[in-house]
Copies of this chain bind each other. A is one copy, B any other.
Amino acid sequence: MAGVPQAKTPIAILAGRGALPFAIADAARASGCRVHLIGLTGFADPALAVQDDVHVTQVGRLLKSLRAAGCRSIILCGGLERPGRLRDLRFDWGVLRYLPRLWRVLRGEGGDDRLLRAVARFFHEEGIEVIGVKDIAPDLLTPPGVLTRLTPTPAQIQDSEAGLAALRAMGPFDIGQTLVVLRGRIVAVEAAEGTDAMIERVMALRENGRLPQKRGEGVLIKIAKPGQDMRFDLPTIGPETVEQAAKAGLAGLVLEAGRTIILDREKTLARAETLGLFVYAPLLDPAVA
């Protein structure tokens, strides 16, 4: 990791989907950094005031933009589903040069971790270091403790311990980082579908009677994978996650402190208070404190 970025060169932010790139850009500027924002076409929010736009495959264009701006470090952030349909991709000439190295990355062999490490290695070989949220916007990371007035009950703590143990066991297999525990039973595990789709599934299982319908039960648990590269892909929640969890009748959210991100923290926690959900952030890895 590059450590604290030097104020002399601007930080590049390669922005995918969602609100995280905005939050990171704001935080970087607030700490006195210059920012070079590059939007990933088709992913980045059009409301983002970017300096440049690239397609996910326009590697030549991206490197040229980074060099022209004098960037020595980059932060990759925001949602970036893998291209399912190769015909939707646009290529540039740069891609030909990098094709052998890019091929495995694009094919998406292996899980997300391997993919992301390959991307970081690629940038490093080009003289640009991939940095993380911790380096530029540490306040986005979830602080430890119970973050709402409402605290989890002993039964909910027990549910969250059961879920945390299962997530830790699954970690080496690069699956998901999120699951839902209801009355001691793991009722949903997230993989490629994403957190929102998983919460919707719990909602549907309650509606069709496959799960108990009593509301205010069940805990959503989200942690970083053991050994996760802190430079990217940190599990993220925001106000909508809380809204969704409330709709699904869950009692609260358990988020790993220091290795997950709460977007719009004030608003997110206020929504949780209003909707009667607890947010509890245990510190699982003392090394991140």
**Closest approach, in angstroms, between the C-beta of A221 and any C-beta of chain B?**
12
CA distance A84 to B208 in the complex (A): 8
Number of copies: 2
Contact present for B170 and A109 (CB under 8 Å): no
Contact present for A213 and B169 (CB under 8 Å): no
Residues of B within 8 A of A205 (CB): 192-193
User: A212 at the A/B interface (Cβ < 8 Å)?
Assistant: yes
Binds B, one of A14-22, A46-54, A178-186: A178-186
**Closest approach, in angstroms, between the C-beta of A165 and any C-beta of chain B?**
7
Contact present for B162 and A166 (CB under 8 Å): no
User: A82 at the A/B interface (Cβ < 8 Å)?
Assistant: yes
Contact present for A191 and B187 (CB under 8 Å): yes
What's the tally of chain A residues with a CB closer than 8 Å to chain B?
A: 45
Chain A residues proximal to chain B, CB less than 8 Å: 81-85, 88, 107-112, 162, 165-166, 169-170, 172-176, 179, 183-194, 197, 201, 205-206, 208-213
Residues of B within 8 A of A192 (CB): 185, 187-188, 205, 210-211
Residues of B within 8 A of A201 (CB): 193, 197, 201
